[in-house]
């Protein structure tokens, strides 16, 4: 059976419309920023690659030697060192990263956090505070910097002010963010220590729903194509629509061969294959995506699980 016949067999009218819409808007979809990917410590490169920590750390250090001008390489190394409890080492790596990418609020707040964790005596060393202030100056919504600036208030005796800031952060927190539970616990504990009643307010303050652009690629609803796009597609016979989609999928694979580091496109390819009923090809896309991006293995597997890719 030819590839076009296989595709036609498993492709419903609804799936065909979804895929056409997806590819029409692929350029907009690529470059999305889910909340966790907006901070440098998001991926766990040690766990994601499945290698021994020492081996993976050595690989990340080797990458910084090969790519000393890459903020991404230094960020990955900083995240790995942080996860291993080497906070001073993480700070040193993040310092390299911010020197290369000084306009990244997430990098500055990661540096501040590493400096806080590396400090044995001062709970808010001046160098850490300077990093958080830089992050806030770049992005007033940076969650990590906001959290630690409230910590500074608490340390300085302004416990109510700190709690107010944490509540404001909680209200701005995307639902399911990894810091939500810790943030609630902090508010509860500081309130208990200083006899500030937070129970009722804590119960009524909920993290906000995810915005469409914050949804994971695999789960996010695809915006509909424009009226002209739909009219153009609807004028094509079914066979030509299927050929169009096959060409789009082939084009996506071609782009991945040219740039295999584009994780979003691997996720899009898995989604397309599953929508076409080509689960074996989706599984192969997962394997190929991980092989090309071992540090993103955790994210790729998580997205593949949401898509029900075999072996994810």
pLDDT per residue over 73-120, tens digit each? 898 899 889 888 899 999 999 999 999 999 999 899 999 999 999 998
> Which pLDDT score is estimated for 145?
93
Domain architecture of the chain: domains with CATH: 3-32+217-306 (no CATH), 52-214 (1.25.40.10)
pLDDT at 28 over 70: no
- 277-280 long-range contacts (CB < 8 A, ≥24 apart) are 277/6, 277/7, 277/9, 277/10, 277/11, 278/6, 278/7, 278/10, 279/309, 279/310, 280/310
Res. 9: pLDDT tops 50: no
pLDDT tens-digit readout, 56-71 = 788 889 999 999 999 8
Global pTM reads 0.58
Cα–Cα separations (whole angstroms), residue 221 to 12, 25, 256, 276: 18, 12, 23, 17
* pLDDT of 231 higher than 80: no
Q: How confident is the model at residue 226 (pLDDT cuts 50, 70, 90)?
A: very low
Q: So what's the pLDDT on residue 233?
A: 55
- Please, which pLDDT band fits residue 72 given cuts at 50, 70 and 90? confident
pLDDT cut 90: percent of the chain above it: 37
Residue 135 has a pLDDT of 95
Q: What is the pLDDT of residues 240-297, one digit of tens each?
A: 666 666 677 777 788 888 888 888 888 888 887 887 778 888 899 999 999 988 888 8
Reported as a pLDDT band with limits 50, 70 and 90, residue 21 is very low
Mutual angle of helices 71-83 and 87-100, in 10-degree steps:
160
- Phi first, then psi: give them for residue 174, nearest 5 degrees: -65, 140
pLDDT in tens, 132-187: 999 999 999 999 999 999 999 999 999 999 999 999 999 988 877 778 888 998 99
pLDDT digits (tens, 9 = 90+) for 183-220: 998 999 999 999 999 999 999 998 887 665 555 544 44
208 in helix, strand or coil? Answer: strand
Residues 63, 74: Cα–Cα separation, whole Å? 9
> How far from 292 is each of 43, 45, 261, 296, 300, CA to CA, in Å?
16, 14, 6, 9, 11
């Amino acid at each position: 059976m030819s590839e076009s016949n296989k595709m036609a067999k498993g492709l419903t009218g609804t799936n065909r419309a979804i895929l056409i819409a997806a590819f029409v808007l692929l350029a907009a979809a690529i470059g999305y920023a889910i909340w966790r990917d907006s901070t440098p410590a998001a991926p766990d490169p040690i766990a994601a690659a499945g290698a021994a920590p020492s081996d993976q750390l050595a690989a990340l250090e080797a990458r910084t030697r090969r790519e000393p001008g890459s903020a991404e390489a230094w960020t990955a190394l900083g995240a790995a060192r942080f996860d291993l409890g080497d906070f001073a080492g993480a700070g040193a790596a993040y310092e390299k990263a911010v020197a290369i990418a000084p306009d990244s609020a997430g990098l500055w707040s990661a540096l501040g956090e590493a400096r806080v964790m590396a400090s044995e005596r001062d709970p808010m060393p001046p160098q850490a505070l300077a990093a958080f202030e830089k992050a806030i100056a770049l992005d007033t919504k940076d969650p990590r910097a906001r959290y630690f600036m409230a910590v500074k208030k608490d340390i300085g005796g302004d416990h109510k002010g700190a709690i107010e800031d944490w509540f404001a952060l909680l209200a701005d927190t995307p639902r399911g963010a990894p810091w939500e539970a810790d943030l609630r616990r902090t508010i509860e504990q500081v309130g208990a220590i200083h006899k500030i009643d937070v129970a009722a307010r804590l119960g009524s303050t909920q993290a906000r729903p995810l915005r469409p652009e914050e949804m994971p690629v695999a789960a996010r609803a695809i915006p509909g194509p424009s009226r002209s796009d739909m009219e153009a597609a609807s004028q094509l016979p079914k066979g030509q629509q299927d050929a169009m989609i096959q060409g789009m999928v082939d084009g996506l694979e071609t782009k991945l061969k040219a740039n295999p580091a584009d994780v979003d496109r691997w996720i899009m390819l898995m989604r397309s294959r599953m929508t076409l009923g080509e689960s074996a090809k989706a599984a192969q896309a997962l394997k190929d995506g991980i092989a090309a991006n071992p540090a993103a293995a955790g994210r790729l597997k998580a997205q593949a699980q949401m898509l029900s890719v075999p072996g994810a």
